[in-house]
Amino acid sequence: MKRLALVLVLAASAALPAAAPGAGCSPLDCSPTGSPLGHGLFAVRPDGVTGMVIVDNLRTGHTLWQLPQGILNGITLVHQDHADLTWFDVLTGQRDGAAVVRTKPVPYLVGASQDGARAVLSFSTKHWSMFVIVSPHRQRTVRLRTYNWGFDALAGSNLYLLRYLRNGYQVRLYDLAANKLVATPLKDPHESALIWGSPWTRTSSPDGRYVFTLYIAQNGGAMVHELDVRRATARCIDLPGTGDFNKGSSYTLQLSRDGRTLWAVSPGYGRAVAIDVASARVRSAFRFRTERVQSPGTTVAALSPDGSRIAFGLVNDVRVLDTTRHRVVQAWHRVVTALAFSPDGRRLWVARGTVLRALSMS
């Protein structure tokens, strides 16, 4: 990770999958987004990653069902209604489990395990932080001294937390099996344990093993933090481009269907980077025609099933980038909430709010 020279732009909730009511709302939380679910289905979240979920059929463009606001991990949605938690199977739209949080006061839902089976809730005071891990069958509480802790990820007995410091924060591991906080922070072997920057967007591998978070510095520099939740290891991958925060904020992440390649694409800088997930190294990179970026925002994107095209939407325009010819090959003037390719790659679905429209791929 390059030393990102900036004033920290991170509120305590900004790196979390969900922010508590009244907390600041970062693009990571609030920007419209979409998630491929497999089986020809697509989840659109027009109000951000903690908002309602609309499930569409990518073969027909029809909306199948709508689910309430909550945390979506993989194919499971966790919804909170005060002390009541409900799990939904997003592939069927059916309720899949329920639980009642016994802790008082009732903490806020801030995330879920990588498989979606357990909900993570949090509550803090001036002197301590509490995390409550709840499934339909059991509940346990983790309490830490000081208030400066946030949730990052949960897989098996590995609870990943963020410890906020004055100049940044650290990724810390709490071993649920041993019931203790591991003394040393997780870090790239070649870098500092202190992470600087503003978390902008994140995605996970289909099997839940990897969590990728994009960070943007005040000077427009960007990097990807790759967390391996099985091995409890972290790596940092620097991305090209610097000097313009707006352009840096146009970076978007797309993972290949097999989970082996992570694409980082910036319309503002006109850069596309293919990252080898297993080695956490840049496999290839190229330039393409830049787009004008006048303000910070989030680029919505979709990767074609064969990995040959990346569609991205920025402000009021949609572009399709050919990853073989290294250039933009199609363009439309469209306002877009989310993008998705049909299973055969012949159509690009453009979501605007809750409505899908098809664009033909030549």
CA 236 – CA 218 distance, rounded (Å): 18
pLDDT surpasses 60 at 80: yes
pLDDT surpasses 70 at 314: yes
Judge if the upstream peptide bond of residue 105 is cis by omega within 30 degrees of 0.
yes
pLDDT surpasses 90 at 279: yes
The per-residue pLDDT for 28 is: 67
Q: Once rounded to an integer, what is the mean pLDDT over residues 295-304?
A: 89
Span 335-348, pLDDT tens digits: 889 999 999 999 99
CA 146 – CA 142 distance, rounded (Å): 13
The per-residue pLDDT for 2 is: 42
Task: Indicate the helix (H) or strand (E) that contains 234.
Answer: strand 233-239
Q: Once rounded to an integer, what is the mean pLDDT over residues 192-207?
A: 86
Q: Once rounded to an integer, what is the mean pLDDT over residues 72-85?
A: 96
Span 172-199, pLDDT tens digits: 999 999 999 999 999 888 888 888 788 8
Cβ pair 135, 120 in contact under 8 A: no
How many Cα atoms are found within 13 Å in the side-chain-facing hemisphere of 46?
16
CA distances from 237 to 56, 116, 158, 226 (A): 33, 27, 23, 8
The per-residue pLDDT for 129 is: 95
Whole-number percent of the chain with pLDDT over 70:
91
Span 62-71, pLDDT tens digits: 999 999 999 9
Helix (H/G/I), strand (E/B), else coil: 40: coil
Instruction: List, in order of start, the domains of the chain with CATH numbers.
Output: 27-360 (2.130.10.10)
The per-residue pLDDT for 27 is: 57
pLDDT level of residue 23 (50, 70, 90 thresholds) = very low
